[in-house]
Amino acid sequence: MAEQALSGTSDLYRALADIPSVTTYSKIAPYVKTDAAGDNHLSLMIDGIHCAACIQAIESALLQLPSVHYVRLNFSTRRLNVSWRGDANMAERMVQALTALSYKATPFDPETLARQDEKENSSLLLCLGVAGFAAGNIMLLSFSLWTTDIQTMGVAVRDFLHWVSALIAVPAVAFSGRPFFTSAWNALRAGRTNMDVPISVGLILTTGMSLFELVNHGEHAYFDSAVMLMFFLLIGRYLDHLARSKARQAATDLMGMMAGTATLLKNDQPHAILIRDIKPDMDILVTAGEYIAADGRVLEGQTDIDTSLVTGESLPMMAAPGDVVMSGTINLSAPIVIRTIRSADESQVGHMIGLMEKAEASQARYVRIADRVARLYTPVVHILAFASFMGWLLIGHIPWQDALLIAATVLIITCPCALALAVPIVQVLAVGRLMKQGIMVQSSDVLEKVATIDTIIFDKTGTLTCGRPALMNVDDIDPQILQLAASMARYSRHPLSVALSSYYVENALPLTVEEIPGSGLRTMLNGCEIRLGRRLWATTEKLPDDIPQALEIVLAMDGNAPVRFLFRDELRPDTLSVINQLKGKGMHLHLLSGDRQNIVQDMAKTLGLESAHGQMAPEDKFQFMETLRAKGHKIMMVGDGINDAPVLAGADVSVAPASGIDMARRAAQIVFTSDTLQPILTILNVGYISQKRVRENFMMTVLYNACAIPLAIAGFVTPLIAALAMSLSSLAVILNAFRLRRYV
Amino acid sequence: MSVLLYMIPLALILGFIGLAGFIWSLRTGQYEDMDGAAYRILIDEEEDKTSA
């Protein structure tokens, strides 16, 4: 990788020389922010960085540009911040420079992305730091309290040590306890309870009781327990936050990429416009290779439109003036001008986003396992504490201070330290392991749901198949003919051309190729015309129709017999074995596709799938899933297209290959980069194992509480025992979670 | 026991220095890019212009 990045630097200078210094208009310009001092700032999302050499290549390349004075690449978030003086149009050159280094740079608006998240992160770290400091220092004092008896030490020294502890503990609890207090307060105000309610009550009660003991020269000051408890809880909270913010970040990155620009034609002059600002009756120029940003009618130009991501249809359709093109499709062969008939929000893609949001709202009802436990746990603990207070007071006839102390001890010792760690520690470990295998988990709760899945719905194109047509009859074709055809195909973005040109990478013939949208490619070689494209356009000769499921292009030249190139979208190499293993696990499998019925049925037969449906519109797919859900099935959806996005958003667990369209990746909770289907099995496996660990952790805390609570209620627990018991239970939970590594 | 009068403030001061160091590192954004920091030690610094 290092060599690649470094050799890229010299490519850069060549590329820089080719860049015209004045660009007429810039697509990136809307993202450049100019501050009061005249400095321009740009944030870019960078794809494809792997190592130190990448950081260096990118930063030094941009610093070479004139007037750039700040470049910083954040390796963790893959975001690049650049500042420079002078011409705002430099932004264009920067992106071109990065492209020359073969990094994909996408501008984004940093304001829209989660700054909130970063603030929360550093405030949690600060709380953790303060709690750590306080815990360390108080333990130092407590150690002497625990190891020395009162006769040796004397009441005065003990009180002194307690006072110092109080001086550290009270401000620390007030400062570092805030995350728990605010969350508990918000929950209570909304008439709910959560895990933070007993934590807050425990913290406040313990600190208050210890202060009371302190003033009365008592022995039972629990400052150490309170601060240690808070420290451990904050570790759990931080881990939880880490897992969730990683997940959220993956999601916001995808969202930032979607907010792109389009080219608006106004008085025949191109202007960059943000896609979300597109209104009806605007003229938009769509160059070859670009996504169509809003539904519209073609005004000028003729081209092929790739609708595979929207409908699942494998072959492009032709669009000529007057035809309606839908947003989310890709313009393949020639530039066209469209007049929009709907704004971007109301266009097909916008409509899908609406469906997705509706589906996501139904997901919000899911209650995380930790919160379900908290709902049970909170009342039980408080009732136990209250009962022991009343019991000691009324039956045991001890002073109310002592009874309250026992009640507080019950609260501390049951305080859900291990419980608060039980889930996040497992999730952080599991998510990290999956990431190493190229599986990005975008929502940390999803692993909880994986374990309940009994039904899997697959999309066809790009999910079960590679989504790229492969040449079936490569062995039957004369290498010279292949070279000629591949050299022509290089000039087109048509999926079959792209596939064809990948079969001959060596010496391409220098040709002047003309693309005729909807028909094919044409060139002249040694004075005779060569056509590569649709059968009826390329040749008048009669050809056999022996393989109906194959996609075909024909190469014809004067005086030679036409040559057929047959393509088929191949299954991923391990699709069959993965499907069989899933069947072995007792999963219900369904295949839903927008492609033609006969192709879908054909594939279902190959894979042995009983339930397969073709020609499904996005709404049909969504309906199908809702019906299954209504029957009580827990559904995993695997898909990659715009038409899958609503189902992905609505399914219990959703998985998309990284090759899928932005929108599917955004809707999915899990994205995998592999060319195989193996990740589906890995995800299920990790889901089962991590849920098992979580259940074990809960069992351990229950067991621990079963031993500790009776002791606390009986009044046998000293501060030392409370602190030890809590630390040990937390440690046990963490160690158990680490056992995950052995299986994943 | 009078040793406590020195030792406890000393321990606290040491603790505070650590805490102050931590707060400083947090304020200067040293926890923002944990993965990048691991890679940046491998980069040789250039003589003229360095990234700020």
Chain A nearest C-alpha distance from B5 (Å): 10
For residue A2, the SS3 value is helix
Q: How many domains does chain A have?
A: 5
CA distance A640 to A657: 6
State mean pLDDT over A98-126: 76
Distance of CA A354 to the CA centre of its chain: 20
List, in order, residues 6 or more apart from A109 with CB less than 8 Å away.
A31, A43, A256, A259
A101, A121: one domain: no
Whether residue B44 is contained in a domain is answered as no
Tell if the CB–CB gap between A55 and B39 is shorter than 8 Å. yes
Residue type present at position A612: A
State mean pLDDT over A390-414: 82
pLDDT in tens, A252-280: 555 554 456 788 888 877 777 777 778 89
Locate the DSSP E strands across A231-389. 261-266, 269-274, 283-286, 296-300, 303-306, 317-319, 324-325, 330-331, 336-340
Round the average pLDDT of chain A to a whole number and report it.
81
The per-residue pLDDT for B22 is: 93
ipTM: 0.82
Whether residue A434 is contained in a domain is answered as yes
Whether residue B37 is contained in a domain is answered as no
- A121 contact residues in B (CB cutoff 8 A): 31
Chain B residues near any Cβ of chain A (below 8 Å): 1, 4, 8, 11-12, 15-16, 18-19, 22-23, 26, 31-36, 39-40, 42-43, 46, 49, 51-52
A457, A579: one domain: yes
Whether residue B23 is contained in a domain is answered as yes
- B10 contact residues in A (CB cutoff 8 A): none
Please report, for the domain that includes residue A492, its CATH number: 3.40.1110.10
Whether residue A377 is contained in a domain is answered as yes
Where a domain ends, among A570, A597, A612? Answer: A570
Based on the number of CB atoms within 10 Å of its own CB, is A294 exposed (0-12), middle (13-18) or buried (19 or more)?
buried
A141, A199: one domain: yes
A334, A226: one domain: no
Q: Is the pLDDT of residue A1 over 50?
A: no
Whether residue A262 is contained in a domain is answered as no
Please report, for the domain that includes residue A21, its CATH number: 3.30.70.100
A287, A145: one domain: no
State mean pLDDT over A365-374: 70
* Crossing angle for the helix pair A369-394 and A196-215, to the nearest 10 degrees: 30
Q: Tokens 């954040």, residue?
A: A74
* Crossing angle for the helix pair A678-714 and A400-414, to the nearest 10 degrees: 160
Minimum CA–CA partner of B34 in chain A? A76
Answer with the residue of higher pLDDT: A347 or A647.
Answer: A647
Q: Is the pLDDT of residue A742 over 90?
A: no
Whether residue B49 is contained in a domain is answered as no
Tell if the CB–CB gap between B33 and A77 is shorter than 8 Å. yes
CA distance A673 to A343: 33
Residue A100 sits at the chain B interface (C-beta within 8 Å): no
CA distance A463 to A459: 6
Q: Is the pLDDT of residue A22 over 50?
A: no
The per-residue pLDDT for B24 is: 94
| Confidence category of residue A181, pLDDT binned at 50, 70, 90 | very high
Chain A residues 127-156 with CB within 8 Å of chain B? 129-130, 133, 136-137, 140-141
A312, A461: one domain: no
Nearest 5°: CA angle at A641, between A635 and A645?
Answer: 50
Q: Taking Cα atoms as reference points, which of A491, A493, A524, A490 lies closest to residue A504? A: A490
pLDDT in tens, A320-352: 899 999 887 888 878 889 999 988 777 777 777
Q: Residues A680, A662: contact at Cβ < 8 Å?
A: no
| Confidence category of residue A15, pLDDT binned at 50, 70, 90 | very low
State mean pLDDT over A441-460: 86
Chain A nearest C-alpha distance from B3 (Å): 12
* CB nearest B19 (choices: A73, A129, A141): A129
Residue type present at position A696: E
State mean pLDDT over A455-479: 84
Chain A nearest C-alpha distance from B9 (Å): 10
pLDDT in tens, A699-734: 888 888 888 888 888 878 776 677 677 778 878 888
Q: Is A459 an active-site residue?
A: yes
The per-residue pLDDT for B25 is: 92
Q: Residues A262, A284: contact at Cβ < 8 Å?
A: yes
| Confidence category of residue A234, pLDDT binned at 50, 70, 90 | confident
* CB nearest A70 (choices: B23, B31, B52): B52
What does DSSP say about strands A588-592 and A455-458: parallel, antiparallel, or unpaired?
parallel
User: Percent of chain B having pLDDT more than 90?
Assistant: 27
For residue A367, the SS3 value is coil
* CB nearest B42 (choices: A52, A129, A130): A52
**DSSP code string of A158-202:** HHHHHHHHHHHHHHHHHHHTHHHHHHHHHHHHTT---THHHHHHH
State mean pLDDT over A228-243: 81
Tell if the CB–CB gap between A130 and B19 is shorter than 8 Å. yes
The residue range of the domain holding A595 is 427-466+572-689
Q: Is the pLDDT of residue A109 over 80?
A: no
CA dihedral sign, ordered A351, A619, A571, A482: negative
* CB nearest A55 (choices: B32, B40, B46): B40
Tell if the CB–CB gap between A133 and B40 is shorter than 8 Å. no
User: H-type helices in A190-347, by residue range?
Assistant: 196-215, 223-258, 308-311
CA distance A157 to A152: 10
Residue A55 sits at the chain B interface (C-beta within 8 Å): yes
Minimum CA–CA partner of A138 in chain B? B12
A152, A218: one domain: yes
pLDDT in tens, A146-179: 888 888 888 888 888 899 999 999 999 999 999 9
Q: Is the pLDDT of residue A114 over 70?
A: no
Based on the number of CB atoms within 10 Å of its own CB, is A264 exposed (0-12), middle (13-18) or buried (19 or more)?
buried
Q: Residues A140, B11: contact at Cβ < 8 Å?
A: yes
Stretch among A292-301, A383-392, A658-667 having the lowest mean pLDDT: A658-667
The per-residue pLDDT for A153 is: 82
* Crossing angle for the helix pair A115-147 and B3-27, to the nearest 10 degrees: 170
Whether residue B9 is contained in a domain is answered as yes
Tell if the CB–CB gap between B36 and A137 is shorter than 8 Å. no
Q: How many domains does chain B have?
A: 1
The per-residue pLDDT for B1 is: 66
Tell if the CB–CB gap between A72 and B51 is shorter than 8 Å. yes
Q: Is the pLDDT of residue A419 over 70?
A: yes
Q: What is the model's pTM?
A: 0.69
Whether residue B17 is contained in a domain is answered as yes
CA distance A597 to A463: 17
| Confidence category of residue A30, pLDDT binned at 50, 70, 90 | confident
| Confidence category of residue A236, pLDDT binned at 50, 70, 90 | confident
| Confidence category of residue A465, pLDDT binned at 50, 70, 90 | confident
Where a domain ends, among A111, A139, A173? Answer: A111
Q: What is the DSSP letter of A444?
A: T
The per-residue pLDDT for A447 is: 84
- Other beta carbons less than 10 A from residue A151's beta carbon: 6
Q: Is the pLDDT of residue A40 over 80?
A: yes
State mean pLDDT over A530-541: 85
State mean pLDDT over A24-50: 76
Whether residue A215 is contained in a domain is answered as yes
Q: Pick the catalytic residue: A240, A306, A445, A459?
A: A459
List, in order, residues 6 or more apart from A222 with CB less than 8 Å away.
A206, A209, A210, A408, A409, A412, A719, A722
List, in order, residues 6 or more apart from A189 with CB less than 8 Å away.
none
| Confidence category of residue A13, pLDDT binned at 50, 70, 90 | very low
Q: Is the pLDDT of residue A89 over 50?
A: yes
* CB nearest B51 (choices: A59, A121, A137): A59
Phi and psi, residue A13, nearest 5°: -65, -35
Q: For an interface test with A, give the residue of B24, B39, B43 to mutate (most A CBs within 10 A).
A: B39
Q: Is the pLDDT of residue A363 over 60?
A: no
Chain A residues 64-83 with CB within 8 Å of chain B? 69-77
The per-residue pLDDT for A171 is: 95
User: Percent of chain A having pLDDT more than 70?
Assistant: 88
Whether residue A717 is contained in a domain is answered as no
Tell if the CB–CB gap between A76 and B23 is shorter than 8 Å. no
Where a domain ends, among A93, A111, A129? Answer: A111
A446, A530: one domain: no
Whether residue B38 is contained in a domain is answered as no
| Confidence category of residue A636, pLDDT binned at 50, 70, 90 | very high
The per-residue pLDDT for A172 is: 95
| Confidence category of residue A233, pLDDT binned at 50, 70, 90 | confident
Q: Residues A703, A692: contact at Cβ < 8 Å?
A: no
Chain B nearest C-alpha distance from A29 (Å): 23
Q: Is the pLDDT of residue A295 over 60?
A: yes
Please report, for the domain that includes residue A682, its CATH number: 3.40.50.1000
A669, A537: one domain: no
How far CA A441 is from CA of A392, A686, A687, A720, in Å, comes to 50, 12, 11, 41
The per-residue pLDDT for A298 is: 92
The residue range of the domain holding B7 is 1-29
Terminal alpha carbon distance of chain A = 27
Structure tokens at B33: 């890019």
A94, A6: one domain: yes
Whether residue A175 is contained in a domain is answered as yes
| Confidence category of residue A11, pLDDT binned at 50, 70, 90 | very low
The per-residue pLDDT for A113 is: 52
A456, A583: one domain: yes
The per-residue pLDDT for A16 is: 39
A216, A331: one domain: no
pLDDT in tens, A598-634: 888 888 998 888 899 988 887 888 889 989 989 989 9
Q: Is the pLDDT of residue A14 over 80?
A: no
- A118 contact residues in B (CB cutoff 8 A): 32
The per-residue pLDDT for A9 is: 42
